[in-house]
Amino acid sequence: MALLEVEGLVKHFVAGRSLFGRALGHVKAVDGVSFSLDAGKTLALVGESGCGKSTVSRLVLRLIEPDAGTVRFAGRDLLSLDAGALRAFRREAQIIFQDPYASLNPRMTVGQILTEPLALHDLVPPAQRRERVAEILRLVGLEPRLERRYPHEFSGGQRQRIAIARALAVEPKLIICDEPVSALDVSIRSQILNLLRELQDRLGLAYIFVSHDLAVVKHIADHVAVMNLGQIVETAEADALFAAPRHPYSRALLSAIPVPKPRAKRSRIVLQGEIPSALSPPPGCRFHTRCPYVVDRCRSEMPQLVPDGIGHATACHRTSELPSSAAIVPSDGGFSPVLEKLVAAFSGGPEAVRGSGVSPLGTDPA
């Protein structure tokens, strides 16, 4: 059984009210989204700003209430939970945000930040809490003695480790990672990605990974759902999607990934036109205003997400008629053998790969 099953999720935000409180318009942030996620796996939600991917992640946690649809977590219907049961559920699903500067309380020490969830859920007897905090800090590659410090004493990467530690404190089964590495520098980003992966292997965590960085998604995700204007337009195994994206929107997204290789072979699809407003999404297929393959039918009839029987589903009327997309995703060609060896040597060699970038991070942040 899947850990998380989401069915027909809908959320429309009111976009302004008249003098008498009547809604003037609705932002259709999420409009009929369904997916499922197995324990220990990663589902990535990708799409442009405003496509609804962050709203979906908040609906799954019931941080905001959906207008319709169901969310089942380990077989329980989340939307029927009362306040007490909802609080118990919060133990099992946590979230990490993009900005490690804004998501930690500056007035609390790291120890206090990590003790709070333990106390709140009454997980560990008070006498053993310090020990548990030390254990969690080691788990994310920080030295236990840092518990007395305040968030401002840490760098961005270290703060993101603290945010991860806070999420892990309650031993969740699911962590929602909302752009967890977007605010970090390249070298720090790889440390956090390695850490997330290692924690998943070690603790059997499931992740919902919200990101607009598609190379990162390719690296971390098992499944990917591509969203456009509140709807999933394509969902597939990550490898299958990146090998041959089917929906014209996915093709455009994936074709535009910048790759670290000069003169990389690519057939970039540059989308013309602006993203339509979620206030009044176009009728029919919501991508038709920007789609290079648009036909009349797309303007009137909304395509359904049709599975192909082997785990790849696409919401496009023309799926079967579109040209091959095998060469859509740009190729970076990999490293030369010498550079490959050099990078391996830089990381300590294949035998000596250090886990999670755990390192002497206790040094004073300058």
> Using CB under 8 A as the criterion, which residues of the chain lie in contact with another protein when the complex forms?
48-49, 155-156, 185-187, 189-191, 193-194, 197, 212-216, 218-220, 242, 252-253, 256-264, 268, 270-271, 273-275, 329-336, 338-339, 341-343, 345-348, 353, 357, 359-360, 363, 365-366
Q: How far is the CB of 261 from another protein (least distance, A)?
A: 5
Q: Please, which residue, 52 or 117, has the CB nearer to another protein?
A: 52
Residue placing its CB nearer to another protein in the complex, 88 or 353: 353
Kindly give the pairing relationship between strand 206-210 and strand 223-228.
Answer: unpaired
Closest to another protein by CB, 4 vs 285, is 285
Q: Shortest gap between Cβ of 228 and another protein (angstroms)?
A: 11
In the complex, minimum distance from the CB of residue 227 to another protein, in angstroms, rounded to a whole number: 12
Nearest distance in Å: CB 309, another protein: 25
- Measure CA 60 to chain center: 12
In whole angstroms, what is the distance from residue 124 CA to residue 289 CA? 55
Most distant CA pair in the chain, distance: 71
Is the CB of 42 or the CB of 115 nearer to another protein? Answer: 42
In the chain, which ranges are E strands?
A: 4-14, 26-37, 42-46, 68-73, 76-77, 93-96, 174-178, 206-210, 223-228, 231-237, 306-307, 313-314
Between 94 and 255, whose beta carbon lies closer to another protein? 255
Evaluate whether 34 touches 8 at the Cβ level (below 8 Å): yes
Give the C-alpha separation, 252 to 283, whole Å: 21
Q: Which CB atom, from 113 or from 253, has the smaller least distance to another protein?
A: 253
Report which DSSP code applies to 352: T
Q: How far is the CB of 61 from another protein (least distance, A)?
A: 24
> Which residues neighbour 183 within 8 Å (Cβ) at sequence distance 6 or greater?
98, 99, 100, 101, 156
Neighbours of 275 (CB within 10 A): 16
Rounded CA separation 54/211 (Å): 9
Helix (H) or strand (E) holding 138: helix 129-139
CB of 270 or CB of 326, closer to another protein: 270
Residue 80 to residue 115: CA distance in whole angstroms:
29
Cα separation values, 107 from 112, 129, 153, 164, 292, Å: 10, 20, 12, 18, 52
In whole angstroms, the minimum distance from the beta carbon of 160 to another protein comes to: 14
Q: Minimum distance between the CB of residue 207 and another protein, rounded to whole angstroms?
A: 15
CB of residue 43 to another protein, shortest distance in Å? 17
Q: How far is the CB of 220 from another protein (least distance, A)?
A: 8
φ, ψ for residue 131, nearest 5 deg:
-65, -40
- Residue 323 or 360: the one with the smaller Cβ distance to another protein is 360
d(CA 147, CA 145): 5
The nearer residue to another protein, 283 or 365, going by C-beta atoms, is 365
